Amino acid sequence: MSPKWGFIVERPFYIVSEMKSNRVLTQLTHDKFSIIKTPNGNDNQKFYFDQKTRTIRMVWKKSHALEFKNNYWVGYGSGLAIPKQQFKYEKGYIISVNINKVFTIEANKDIEAQRVIVANKNGGVNQRWKIVYVDQFKEQTKGLIDEFGLFANRPFYIRSRLPNKRLAECQGNYDVRQRRWRNNETAQQWYFDPTMKVIRSKKWNNRVLETTNKSTGLGNMRCYTPSARWW
C-alpha cells in the first residue's frame, strides 16, 4: 500500500461507483473519455497504480494513464507523471492532487455509459467510489441477475408470441431465424453469460446474440463471434 496515495501498488483493481447500480469506471477503447458501465470483466475496466509516476494506469494500455481533460472530463493520455494524471484515493474519493477536484458521475445519473468528470467535492454519492481489487471481485454466476431479468448460465428458449410460437435459432451462417421446436436442438437454446453480460448460443458458445447496425435504425438479429467490445 502507498499510504499517501491510497492504492496498493501494481495490483489491478476496479473503480466501483457507490451509486445504487455499482457500475464501474470504464475506459472506452475507441475514444479517450471515461464512462460508467456494468462490470463485464474486460481489461478496459481494470486499472493499477504505478508507483514510479504516481498515476492510475490502464491494464489494457499500460503506457497510458487516467487524466482530466481541459473540459474536466476524465479520460486518458500517455503516462508522463504530469500533475493532471496524478490522483489519490482518500475516504471514498478519487482526488486530483493538482486541482483538488474529485471523480464525479456527471449530472448525478446512475445510467449505463454516463460520462465521468472531475468536479468540486460536494459529498454526493455520485462522487464516491470503492477500489475493489480484481482478485477480490466476486461476480454472480448463478441465480437471477435482477438487472437483466435472466438467470445466469441457465439455458432457455426465445419463443415468439405469434400464433406459431416458433423459436429463435442460431444458424451456421450467423443468422438468427424462426424455426419450429426440435427436441434437443442446442442451436435453439441460449444462456446468459453473467461476466460479459451477453446472451450466448448453447451450440456455439463463442457466439453472442446481437443486432446489426442499420442507418435506418432497424437491424437484423444475428449470433456472431464478436470482433469488438459489446458496447
Domain boundaries, given as residue ranges, for the chain: 13-136, 144-224
Mean pLDDT of the 49-55 span: 95
CATH architecture of 144-224: Trefoil (2.80)
Tracing cell 441457465 back to the chain, one arrives at: 154
Q: Region 11-15: what's the mean pLDDT?
A: 98
Residues 33 and 69: their CA atoms lie apart, in Å, by 9
Q: Which residue carries 451450440 as its cell?
A: 203
Q: How far is CA 9 from CA 5, 44, 87, 95, 150, in A?
A: 10, 18, 13, 17, 37
Range 1-30 burial, b when 16+ CB lie within 10 A, else e: eeeebbbeeeebbbbbbebeebbbbbbbee
Q: Could you give the CA distance from residue 176 to residue 116 in angstroms, rounded to a whole number?
A: 36
What's residue 227's pLDDT? 52
* Helix, strand, coil % over all residues of the chain, rounded to 5: 10, 40, 50
Looking up cell 464512462, which residue turns up? 35
Mean pLDDT of 160-166: 95
Structure confidence at residue 213 (pLDDT): 67
More confident residue, 101 or 214: 101
Which three three-digit cell numbers place residue 188?
Answer: 435453439
Q: Is 73 exposed, middle or buried (0-12, 13-18, 19+ CB in 10 A)?
A: middle
* Class of residue 74 by CB neighbours under 10 A (exposed 0-12, middle 13-18, buried 19+): buried
Q: Label residue 95 by pLDDT band (50, 70, 90).
A: very high
Cβ atoms within 10 Å of 93's Cβ, excluding its own: 18
The owner of cell 453480460 is 197
SS3 assignment, position 44: helix
Cα–chain center distance at 124 = 22
Task: Render pLDDT for 101-140 as a digit per residue (tens, 0 to 9).
Answer: 999 999 999 999 999 999 999 999 999 999 999 999 877 7
| Cell numbers given for 120 | 468540486
- Structure confidence by residue, pLDDT tens digits, 216-230: 556 688 999 875 444
pLDDT at 166 over 80: yes
Question: Sorting pLDDT into bands at 50, 70 and 90, what band is 51?
Answer: very high
Write down the pLDDT at residue 19: 98
Q: Quote the cell numbers at residue 50.
A: 504505478
Lookup result for grid cell 459489446: 230
Q: How far, in Å, CA of 196 to CA of 66, rounded?
A: 24
Radius of gyration of the CA atoms of the chain, in A:
21
Domain range 13-136, CATH architecture: Trefoil (2.80)
Is-same-fold flag (13-136; 144-224)? Answer: yes
